[in-house]
A and B are shown apart, each in its own frame.
Chain A
């Protein structure tokens, strides 16, 4: 049996087995094996990816084809690693075999999307993934799952229409055939007649933008994400946000590969970015800002990270939109680091929810003393997301900043700069409200993370640190995708030509700086440990009855400064559209199916009349 088939179908098989057997202990073991096998095979295929590897499954009507390229290996690696960690987390947090079935099924869907070699296979696995994630949300919250489902369906059918359209024109689903058809058409356009007209291309671009934008959480199609990410098993969300949102990113990259040349020829350039790409990048920039600002105003940990996830995906879309080789590499790099730190964050949230049973900031505080291991992991994740060198989050953001700014795109540059500050802002709010300050008395007997979750977090944290100190590892992989050295340097140094980043030097000098400070600290007199209530409160005595920690509405001034903008809500717009459609359906039902026999006779007459005019 081919390795690719094993990678794609093992999780599904394991999921079904776990669901059928449904024996506690056994189903967990099967599930972990189901996620470990793809990880092991993905690691083994690393060297083979260069030669290309393919696999076809004849379904009678059409062939289901898979192929491994450098690009799909990169995404496969992310998916297998984060998926495995999330599945480890599920060992602690899954409530039953139902969740095992669908969590593993969505992993199969994601693998299938990354390995697909034709449009139809891509679509089928896309739908498997959507369905499985919908079922995961449905178990927890019906309203959120339906919102997710409706938007996903809109996206999926937009994609189906586009695929059908391409098939009609090109006559094949195969990626390479479609790609060469579009490139041939680009040449044809330059010399006169082309198969695809300008309007058709615009429609295709719009359909794909909706299709992939929904999955990635592109503004203004992001409204499903805060609800769906928060209203499900949080270990699963590590995969949901870390891997499943990457399929949208992968879709955009496929769009570039398949029809990028043709679109560029048709619509031209805006400065050094293609015009159609600039649209993606600009929407990505808005996604960063909107996601980040809303994340800062949330009162629930899960919601905060859901919006933060949206915001970070915006960076990736900016990189993809700008469309140079360097910015594409930056986007892929950030896709990797986003999966690593956001997977870690959702596992931390899963631990907190699992151990305390609470999700809002108002109920928490002072957990750092009770859960030191989880706090250490959160510390790594916070530094990584906020873009603190030398962790992986900074390396990828740095490449992205330079890639965008060096293309003379100042407005996009300003947007990504704002995004980095807002990331800082909402993370400190999370840190303050959950880990520090006064601890509510009902959290006094909270325990640290259970073993499977701890292992899962440790794996992701390790990758965050190692790839941050040695970003050259990722750069080498990215250069292999493009076949040439776009990011130079060595293991510890990234060299873009107009900018250099040395992670090892940063680490060395940071340690040196902390050591010097530590020396001064140790030379001083010994410090005495005091409890949280032994504090300055305008000179007044404080007891535990006082609430010393600001837990609600931490960023009230920000909310007030933005009050005008916050009145605009896309969530409400979609709800209004939904209500209008329902009303319209009601009106149609009342008028057309009015229960009056004579009016049905009139309908018949009307149709006969139309046929008569037509001349039948």
Chain B
């Protein structure tokens, strides 16, 4: 019981901290691409502390508060199910489909909160977020199906262990196709250009986020950090072999090494997304739907069909 509680606490702190570092890395890398210096890496933490310590906050009612809490809670829930190296609280139940769903439901909370504010920009943002969700679901579904059919199991942990024996998922052609499609989907899941249509700074004044300020925005920053961590972690686990290290004799050293290996893989995923975001302008929403229903879908469906043969 106490051991589980300690693990939960560790995962939470680690995920939040690393998530904030990831946000910092994105800002620095984007700045360097633009030949700027950029903020220090811990800048997102400072931002969040500032937002949380605002002296005046507003609310539009119960759902406005609860939606935010739900989003943070659901993100924490999702991170618990994804194997983190050899640490895992619920990795026995870390089912592919469950995690895929759990990574989407925080958005429900954000949208409930945003819509209950009654702001028209939030309405537009919710509409775009929903259509993006609908668009990415097809390639995302096929990518998950390809994995499940290739490995014959839905357990994320078992998929990680299978990769220990047979090599990373992306080394197999059908799963490479699935990984390409999933990586394109990640761009929308992170909310990065060219698919940051639901937030669209400068176009619809942040969409769903328009009414949030103070501690609501601070909580959303925390949610964003954990979600960034969870999404990169899930991708590294299912496509890049996860982080199981057995080189050392001490289990503690193995665990630390596993976390470091995972961190390198997560940063690699993050950097690909950042590079893409820095050089592509935003799509419109109908272009995004048509894009996702065309190339990523074809690639992922091909992967799924090849994996099922």
Contact = CB atoms under 8 A, between A and B. Distances in A.
B121 A499 contact: no
Contacts of A409: 308
Contacts of B12: 516
Contacts of A558: 131, 134, 289
A389 B102 contact: yes
B120 A550 contact: yes
Nearest to A398: B97
A257 B53 CA distance: 65
B52 interface: yes
Interface in B129-183: 130-131, 133-134, 137-138, 140-142, 144-146, 148-149, 152-155
B123 A549 contact: yes
A500 interface: yes
Interface string A515-551: 1111011011111111010111110000000001110
A368 B63 contact: yes
Interface in B200-253: 205, 210-211, 214-216, 218-219, 222
Interface stretch (A29-37, A412-420, A578-586): A412-420
A517 B118 contact: no
A532 to B, nearest CB: 4
A459 B130 CA distance: 31
Given A368-B116, A406-B148, A561-B290, A520 B126 contact: no
Contacts of B105: 388-389
Main DSSP-derived SS at the B contact region: helix
B126 to A, nearest CB: 6
A425 interface: yes
Contact of A525 (B89, B96, B214): B214
Given A437-B123, A513-B72, A520-B52, A499 B210 contact: no
Contacts of A300: none
Interface in A482-526: 493, 496, 498-502, 505-506, 509-518, 520-521, 523-526
Nearest to A524: B215
Contacts, number: 250
B90 interface: yes
A410 interface: yes
B59 A505 contact: no
Given A514-B69, A524-B215, A558-B289, A538 B205 contact: yes
B199 to A, nearest CB: 15
A387 interface: yes
Q: Which of B101, B149, B216 has the most CB of A within 10 A?
A: B101
A366 B154 CA distance: 42
Contact of B215 (A417, A513, A525, A548): A525
B284 to A, nearest CB: 8
Interface stretch (B24-32, B36-44, B107-115, B274-282): B107-115
A409 B307 CA distance: 10
B211 to A, nearest CB: 6
A405 B141 CA distance: 11
A175 interface: no
A424 B108 contact: yes
A431 to B, nearest CB: 7
Nearest to A537: B120
B123 A410 contact: no
A499 B101 contact: no
A500 B92 CA distance: 8
Contacts of B69: 514, 517-518, 521
Contact of A536 (B73, B119, B131): B119
Interface string A388-422: 11000010001001100110111101101110111
B240 to A, nearest CB: 22
Contact of B305 (A410, A501, A516): A410
B21 to A, nearest CB: 19
Given A500-B95, A528-B57, A532-B60, A517 B127 contact: no
B76 interface: yes
Interface string A122-145: 000000000000000000000000
B304 interface: yes
Nearest to A410: B304
A416 B89 CA distance: 29
B160 to A, nearest CB: 15
Nearest to A515: B73
Contacts of B152: 406, 498
B154 A410 contact: no
Given A548-B118, A561-B289, A417 B155 contact: no
Contacts of A366: 118
Nearest to A375: B63
Interface residues of A, number: 80
B121 A517 contact: no
Contact of A557 (B112, B154, B286): B286
Nearest to B127: A554
Interface in B9-65: 12, 52-61, 63, 65
Contacts of B270: none
Contacts of A501: 93, 95, 98
A428 interface: yes
B68 interface: yes
B299 interface: no
Contacts of A402: 95, 97, 148, 154
B273 interface: no
A526 B219 CA distance: 14
B198 interface: no
Contact of A520 (B59, B95, B219, B285): B219
A438 interface: yes
A520 B120 CA distance: 28
B145 A528 contact: no
A576 interface: no
A421 B305 CA distance: 21
Nearest to A558: B131
A530 B58 contact: yes
B161 to A, nearest CB: 14
Interface in A553-592: 554-555, 557-558, 560-561
A550 B127 contact: yes
- Among B73, B138, B304, the most chain A Cβ lie within 10 Å of the Cβ of B73
Contacts of B140: 417
A431 B205 contact: no
A436 B308 contact: no
14 contacts: A388-B105, A389-B101, A401-B97, A413-B141, A424-B104, A498-B155, A499-B95, A528-B56, A529-B58, A530-B60, A536-B119, A548-B118, A554-B127, A558-B131
Interface of A: 271, 366, 368-369, 386-389, 394, 398, 401-402, 405-406, 408-411, 413-414, 416-418, 420-422, 424-425, 428-429, 431-432, 435-438, 493, 496, 498-502, 505-506, 509-518, 520-521, 523-530, 532, 534-538, 548-550, 554-555, 557-558, 560-561
Given A498-B154, A502-B93, A550-B124, 15 more contacts: A402-B97, A406-B148, A421-B133, A425-B133, A431-B115, A437-B116, A499-B154, A501-B93, A505-B90, A513-B77, A520-B219, A525-B214, A528-B59, A536-B121, A550-B123
- A-B residue pairs, 7 tightest by C-beta: A417-B141, A513-B73, A513-B76, A524-B215, A499-B154, A421-B137, A514-B73
